[in-house]
Amino acid sequence: MSSSCECGPATGCADYVPTPNILATARLTPTSARFRWSPIDTQKYPYVERIALIVEETAANLNTCMTAAIRGDASSVCNVYQPNLAVSATSYTATGALVAGTEYEVRVIFITFDPPGLLPVCINSDRIDYLSSCELTPDPTTIEVGETQLLTTNLVANTWYVSYTRAPTAYATVTTPDNALPYRTTVTGVADGTTLVTGNVYTYATPPVLACSDTATVTVGTVVVSANPWWQTIGGSIHTQRTTGTVLRSRLPAGEYLIKRVTGGTSGLLSYGGGTVVLVGGTVSQDGWKAKSLYTGKTMNYAYFAKNMGVATSGQAKDWAGDAMTKPAYNANKVFYYQDPVGTASLAAVWNVANGQKYVVFVNGDLEIDQNINVAPGGFLAFIVSGEITVDPAVTYMEGLFVSNGNFSTISKYVAGVTNDSRLLVEGSVITWGSIDLNRNLGDAANATLPAEQVTYRPDLLTNMPDRMKSFALEWKEVPAGTFGE
CATH assignment of the domain containing 214 = 2.60.40.1080
- The verdict on residue 111 lying in a domain is yes
- The verdict on residue 476 lying in a domain is no
Co-location of 329 and 306 in the same domain? yes
Co-location of 149 and 195 in the same domain? yes
- The verdict on residue 486 lying in a domain is no
Quote the pLDDT of residue 101. 93
Quote the pLDDT of residue 130. 92
Co-location of 100 and 184 in the same domain? no
Co-location of 208 and 87 in the same domain? no
Co-location of 307 and 454 in the same domain? yes
**pLDDT tens digits in sequence order for the chain, 486 residues long:** 444 444 444 356 677 889 999 988 888 889 999 999 999 999 988 889 999 999 999 999 999 999 999 888 998 899 999 999 999 999 999 999 999 999 999 999 999 876 655 556 788 999 999 999 999 999 999 888 888 899 999 999 888 889 999 999 999 999 999 989 999 999 999 988 899 999 999 988 788 889 999 999 999 875 444 578 999 999 889 999 988 877 888 989 988 999 998 877 778 899 998 888 888 888 999 989 999 999 888 899 999 999 999 999 999 999 999 999 999 999 999 999 999 999 999 999 999 999 999 999 999 999 999 999 999 999 999 999 999 999 999 999 999 999 999 999 999 999 988 999 999 999 999 999 999 999 999 998 899 999 999 999 999 999 999 988 886 444 445 555 444 445
Residue 171's domain spans which residues? 135-221
- The verdict on residue 230 lying in a domain is no
Check: CB of residue 381 under 8 Å from CB of residue 351: yes
Co-location of 311 and 415 in the same domain? yes
Q: How many whole angstroms separate alpha carbon 150 and alpha carbon 186?
A: 5
Co-location of 148 and 213 in the same domain? yes
Co-location of 433 and 314 in the same domain? yes
Q: How many whole angstroms separate alpha carbon 385 and alpha carbon 369?
A: 12
Exposure of 91 in the CB half-sphere (CA atoms within 13 A)? 20
Co-location of 462 and 366 in the same domain? yes
Co-location of 111 and 162 in the same domain? no
CATH assignment of the domain containing 63 = 2.60.40.10
Q: What total of structural domains would you count in the chain? A: 3
- The verdict on residue 316 lying in a domain is yes
- The verdict on residue 293 lying in a domain is no
Q: How many whole angstroms separate alpha carbon 346 and alpha carbon 368?
A: 5
Phi and psi at residue 375, in whole multiples of 5°?
-120, 115
Which has the closest alpha carbon to 366: 345, 348, 391, 393? 345
Co-location of 160 and 91 in the same domain? no
- The verdict on residue 268 lying in a domain is no
- The verdict on residue 393 lying in a domain is yes
Co-location of 92 and 172 in the same domain? no
